[in-house]
């Protein structure tokens, strides 16, 4: 059912071709094996959750996908082509954007400027032209500014446009970070615990934004989340990691019924 072409999920959502595939990835830090021989794919238009207990290797997997970490073994395929070793900034230019588990915003900069940096890959006028503020430089600045204002409206953060983000409460910072990633109009959006540390209301808002992004822009999303309720609600497919290994992969319902997954979450001793 899942090989090639599109398919329809139990919720009646149509999921497209494979966009990103990791094959037999192994990542070690000295003696620690953070990821052990893991393979899975992310399909166009889906919301793909990565779950697992603390230290399972979820963040490491995102870091491999966006190029912060280089796996010792395995292959990464993106948009049908095998990806060689690449620098993270080059991967961003390929259309992969992300947020971080521990918020990595530019603290001294305003909300607006933070989201504007998200447009970096879309702005092409060379720096010396910006320095002397040529016509094309000005036009590009204005056009991109308009797009950023739309994102600000979409995320309902008009009130904090000019506020230095370091002063914002945690929940809003997470939202600005999402805005910065969205600004890149990514083909693949990676979200590392977008709802961590939020209250129920903030979580609901964030879930709604994620679903809207996926719906309105058709953005493919891979997200890490600990809140099972949220995961089951918003994701199309779930991959489950534990101690660096993949122990489950499928629709939320399939995963929920998987004995290994239940054991991992109930803390049954590993042998």
Partner 1 sequence: MSAEVLYTFEVILNGLMAGVMYALVALGFVLIFKASGIFNYAQGVMALFAALTLVGLQNGQVPFAHLLNAIFGTDMHYFGWKLPTIGGVPVLAIVLAVFVMIFFAWAVERLVLKHLVNQEPIILFMATIGLAYFMEGFGDLMWGSDIKKLDVGLPQGGNLWLEEATAGWGGDAFYGFYIDNLDIWATLFAAILVITLVLFSQYTKTGRALRAVADDHQAALSVGISLRSIWVIVWSIAGFVALVAGIMWGAKLGVQFSLSLIALKALPVLMLGGFTSIPGAIVGGLIIGVGEKLFEFSIGPLIGGATENWFAYVLALLFLVFRPQGLFGEKIIERV
Ligand X SMILES: Nc1ncnc2c1ncn2[C@@H]1O[C@H](COP(=O)(O)OP(=O)(O)OP(=O)(O)O)[C@@H](O)[C@H]1O
Q: Does 89 bind partner 1 (CB under 8 A)?
A: yes
Q: How far apart, in whole angstroms, are the C-alpha atoms of residue 262 and residue 166?
A: 39
Q: How far apart, in whole angstroms, are the C-alpha atoms of residue 88 and residue 78?
A: 14
- Report, in Å, the least distance between residue 8 CB and partner 1: 33
Site map (CB under 6 A) of ligand X, residues 36-65, x = contact? ----------------x-xxxxxxx-----
Tokens 């994701």, residue? 235
Report the partner that residue 250 touches, choosing among partner 1, Mg ion, ligand X, none (CB closer than 5 to 8 A by kind): none
Q: How far apart, in whole angstroms, are the C-alpha atoms of residue 146 and residue 150?
A: 6
Q: Which one of 9-17, 53-61, 137-145, 256-264 is the stretch in contact with partner 1 (CB under 8 A)?
A: 137-145
Among 42, 59, 140, 181, binds Mg ion (CB under 5 A): 59
Among 49, 105, 160, 247, binds partner 1 (CB under 8 A): 105
- Report, in Å, the least distance between residue 78 CB and ligand X: 20
For ligand X, give the closer residue by CB, 55 or 88: 55
Which helix (H) or strand (E) segment is 97 a member of? strand 96-98
CA 183 to chain centre: 13
Q: How far apart, in whole angstroms, are the C-alpha atoms of residue 59 and residue 77?
A: 19
Report the partner that residue 130 touches, choosing among partner 1, Mg ion, ligand X, none (CB closer than 5 to 8 A by kind): partner 1
Phi, psi of 62, rounded to the nearest 5 degrees: -60, -40
Count the site residues for Mg ion by CB under 5 A: 2
Q: How far apart, in whole angstroms, are the C-alpha atoms of residue 190 and residue 193?
A: 10
Q: How far apart, in whole angstroms, are the C-alpha atoms of residue 72 and residue 96?
A: 21
Tell me 236's DSSP state: S
Report the partner that residue 137 touches, choosing among Mg ion, ligand X, partner 1, none (CB closer than 5 to 8 A by kind): partner 1
Of all residues in this chain, which one has the CB nearest to Mg ion in the complex?
59
Which positions touch ligand X (CB under 6 A)?
29, 32, 34, 52, 54-60, 101
């Amino acid at each position: 059912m899942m090989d090639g072409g599109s398919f329809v999920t139990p919720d009646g959502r149509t999921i497209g071709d494979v966009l990103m595939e990791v094959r037999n990835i192994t990542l070690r830090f000295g003696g620690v094996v953070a990821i052990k021989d893991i393979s899975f794919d992310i399909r166009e238009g889906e919301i793909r959750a990565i779950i697992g207990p603390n230290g399972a290797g979820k963040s490491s997997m995102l870091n491999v996908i966006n190029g912060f970490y280089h796996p010792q073994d395995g292959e990464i395929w993106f948009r049908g082509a095998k990806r060689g070793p690449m620098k993270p900034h080059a991967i961003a230019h390929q259309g992969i954007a992300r947020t971080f588990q521990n918020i990595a915003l530019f603290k001294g900069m305003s909300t607006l400027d933070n989201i504007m940096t998200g447009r970096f890959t879309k702005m092409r006028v060379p720096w010396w032209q910006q320095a002397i503020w040529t016509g094309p430089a000005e036009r590009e600045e204005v056009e991109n500014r308009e797009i950023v204002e739309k994102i600000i409206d979409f995320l309902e953060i008009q009130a904090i446009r000019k506020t230095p983000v370091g002063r914002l409460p945690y929940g809003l910072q997470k939202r600005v970070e999402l805005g910065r990633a969205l600004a890149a109009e990514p083909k693949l959006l990676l979200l590392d615990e977008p709802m961590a540390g939020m209250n129920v209301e903030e979580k609901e808002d964030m879930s709604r934004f994620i679903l809207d992004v996926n719906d309105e822009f058709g953005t493919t999303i891979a997200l890490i989340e600990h809140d099972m309720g949220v995961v089951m609600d918003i994701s199309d497919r779930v991959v489950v990691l534990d101690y660096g290994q993949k122990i489950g992969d499928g629709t939320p319902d399939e995963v929920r019924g998987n004995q290994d997954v239940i054991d991992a979450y109930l803390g049954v001793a590993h042998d």
